[in-house]
A and B are shown apart, each in its own frame.
Chain A
Amino acid sequence: MRVSCVRVLLLTFAVAPLGGWPGSAEAQVRLRDFVVTLGGSAESYSGNFSAVTLPVVDSTEHASAAVGEVAIRGTITLLRTQERSLQISFDGGMRQAAAFGFEVRDYAPREFVGSLSPQFTAALGSWGSLSLRGRYRGRSLEDRPPMPLFLQPGYSMLQGGVGVVTRSFDGISFDAQLDVEEADYRALELVPQLDLLDRKSAGVEAGIRWGTSSTIRVYGGARWAEYPKQGSFDPDDPFRRDRTARVGVEWTYVGDLFVQVGVDGTMNRSNGDRPEYDAVSGRAVLTAPLPAGFSLNAFAVLTTKSYLHETDDARLVPGEEADNASIAYLQVGRSLASNLDGAVRLGWTRAETNFGQAYYERFGVSVRANYRPLRR
């Protein structure tokens, strides 16, 4: 949960492949699945939601934006044998929007994002495998617009984790992981509210999985989080601390179709009344081939929450306080050449609160091209 924990994990990760593990290793540096993405989209936003971390306000309930983006991602495999593997995944991009419809002025938000995720995996004899994961993720945002055009603020995030997956025993395999995380939102001098989102957290999760092409995973876990800049309104314990329990089940089918459906329940308790809630979330991912070489991809998350304590506070902390939220994406894609895929994507998001009837909605249509220069 402390920063030092994250660093110790990352250090362990860095040292492990150098000699901490037995077996003969062959270095096989290779760039895999390198993808260059270009995309353009039209987005519309509506809502009367206000957010505590967004001091800029505008009276409009409707805004729209034309958006262009460029991104790259890929994986560098440094080592890959039957016993061990070491790889670093990277992902970065820039997105520029021209936003219209605000009363005060038009905005031109520009986002830069990047992440670096090393992962080392080693066999644990014949029992299973151990993996060490790290992740740095950074984000910056210029000319952040007011609601209803919500864009996440800039932050830097450091994560580390260790996990174990066993081989199958009588058709059942077990997994467990521990992770730590530290997120630092970049508060500008005039926007100190962003610091409210700073957090440190640690979590454990364990699961069992059975099946082959059709698998079911049942899991449960707990997370402890501290928000050192958020008050709890308790003078004896002034800063917010949450404990979260989560249980869920996920079904995955891999065959001609890829289908993944999951549902999980979350119970969040805190040292303050305001953020205590119970939630149920459903998630689905579908990939299906269509005629003429087209494919359909869909992704959806639906969440409903129930707060334990009534509040009249209409100033919200992004990322938490609403009574339901829905995200859905639908994409139809096709290969245009052996190393070029094209896709049209529809995206829809909606969230509502019971108090004040506040809502937020986003709808977008985008056209994207994914180019794989290394593809044969």
Chain B
Amino acid sequence: MIVAALVPGVAQGQSLEEQVIQRRLELQQAELEYQAARAAFTVVDRQFSTALNAVREARRSGDDEALELAHAQAQARSGPLSAQERRVEEVRQRFADARRALIDVLTQHLQQLVIEMGAAPTDLRRREIDAIYRDRLAELSRLESDEEQSTFRIDVALLPDIGFDPRDGPEELETKAELVEAYAAVVDTVIQEVDRRVGTLDERLRNERQRGDLLAAVGRFDDTNLPVGVATGPPQADAAADSTGVGNRPLTLEEQIEELTSYRAQLVAYREQILIKARTFRLRIRSVV
């Protein structure tokens, strides 16, 4: 009842469970749009890079006419690139908003489930509700974790879906090689982002450890227990950093670093596979020519 009064959707006759389903769908839709926008951006970005290469090539060859044409093309492609950048940012924001909306409704749903658990007429029903609660809580933790770590993650199990076609000529093969290389560049960016996050976490871990070292050292030999004064007990070295609580406990800094380091190793191997694929395209060009 209390929850119903607080949540507009419920007041309008829509249950929290229905809202969860609806917002989940909205999140899926927003995620698809975000991925599509990123893919489109990659294509436009590649076209712009090709145009810039053409400018460099024309400048190197001293062909003024070609240079003018290449400049015009680069100019023409910079507009769509900026527009696509803005589009990615808008869609990313919508994706984040959709995730936040689902988090909000899940939080309310969890509160409702707690009330229902308390009012459940039988143990069996209570356990059923508890099972739903745990599922929702896990989903919520996952979403909150995604929100915190909004690093663009790549599915390293899938290689870019660009394959050979017997009809491919040198130009098609060149384009495919460039596309695959562009994808490798995206992976490089993600690797750099992972490195940056590991660096940040490493620094936090180092600081936490140094604080732990200080508090352990002053407590170890009872230096904080004076011959006088209120007995306050030794300081707790890990009181604030303690992440050993259970029940969907957050990852410790060490675990986050381990996870990211492992992800980085996968990314590096993945990038190698992609580059091998690009090299294979280029070898094929020579055989076609």
Contacts and interface: CB of A to CB of B under 8 A. Distances in A.
Interface of A: 32-33, 35, 37, 39, 49, 51, 69, 71, 73, 80-85, 87, 91, 93, 95, 111, 113, 119, 121-126, 128-129, 139, 147, 150-152, 165, 167, 169-170, 252, 254, 258, 260, 266, 279, 281, 283, 285, 287-289, 295, 297, 299, 301, 303, 305, 316, 318-322, 324-325, 327, 329, 331, 333, 335, 341, 343, 345, 347, 349, 351, 353, 360, 368, 370, 372
Nearest to A335: B206
Given A126-B130, A318-B228, A321-B228, A329 B214 contact: yes
Given A82-B246, A82-B247, A325 B228 contact: yes
Contacts of B228: 49, 316, 318-322, 325, 351, 353, 360
A258 B240 contact: yes
Contact of B220 (A71, A258, A283, A343): A71
Given A299-B235, A327-B224, A351-B229, A289 B203 contact: yes
A121 B246 contact: yes
Given A33-B209, A152-B222, A319-B225, 12 more contacts: A37-B213, A71-B220, A129-B246, A150-B226, A279-B230, A297-B211, A305-B230, A319-B226, A319-B227, A335-B206, A351-B227, A351-B228
Nearest to B110: A126
B244 interface: yes
Given A150-B227, A341-B213, A353-B228, A83 B220 contact: no
Top 10 A-B pairs ranked by shortest CB distance? A325-B229, A322-B228, A123-B247, A152-B222, A351-B228, A287-B211, A318-B227, A333-B210, A150-B227, A297-B214
B217 interface: yes
Interface in B204-238: 206-218, 220-232, 235
Nearest to B137: A126
A345 B247 contact: no
A131 to B, nearest CB: 8
B273 to A, nearest CB: 26
B254 interface: yes
Contact of B213 (A83, A111, A370): A370
Nearest to B235: A299
B289 to A, nearest CB: 48
Nearest to A330: B214
B100 to A, nearest CB: 15
B13 interface: no
B230 A295 contact: no
A128 B247 contact: yes
B183 interface: no
A343 B214 contact: yes
A341 B208 contact: no
Contact of B111 (A33, A170, A287, A322): A170
A316 B227 CA distance: 9
Nearest to A370: B213
A154 to B, nearest CB: 11
B206 A87 contact: no
B134 interface: yes
A273 B194 CA distance: 63
B262 interface: no
